[in-house]
Amino acid sequence: MLFNKCITIELDDRYIKKSDLTKAVVDKLTSDGETCEFISADLITLNGKKYEVKEKNYANPVPVQQVQLVETN
């Protein structure tokens, strides 16, 4: 069985609009030295591979916004 690669990122700020969240992820990864490009609110490229952007919100005990990048074909 094949599994897609998944990367989880937590940012310091919270975002309401998904496009702003995705752009913040691209900015963070780029500042970390990765080659990253915004395609849409739901899709980015990271080091030449496409990743779907999924947002997760947790309130345990403080609200946390996580982004999961799931590799796509």
Which domain does 21 fall in, by range? 6-71
Q: How confident is the model at residue 67 (pLDDT cuts 50, 70, 90)?
A: very high
* Distance separating alpha carbons of residues 57 and 64, to the nearest angstrom: 6
pLDDT tens per residue across span 26-54: 999 999 999 999 999 999 999 999 999 99
Give domain status of residue 1, yes or no: no
Domains held by the chain: number: 1
The pTM score is 0.87
Give domain status of residue 58, yes or no: yes
Please choose, from the candidates 61, 44, 65, 64, the residue with its C-alpha nearest in 3D space to the C-alpha of residue 53: 44
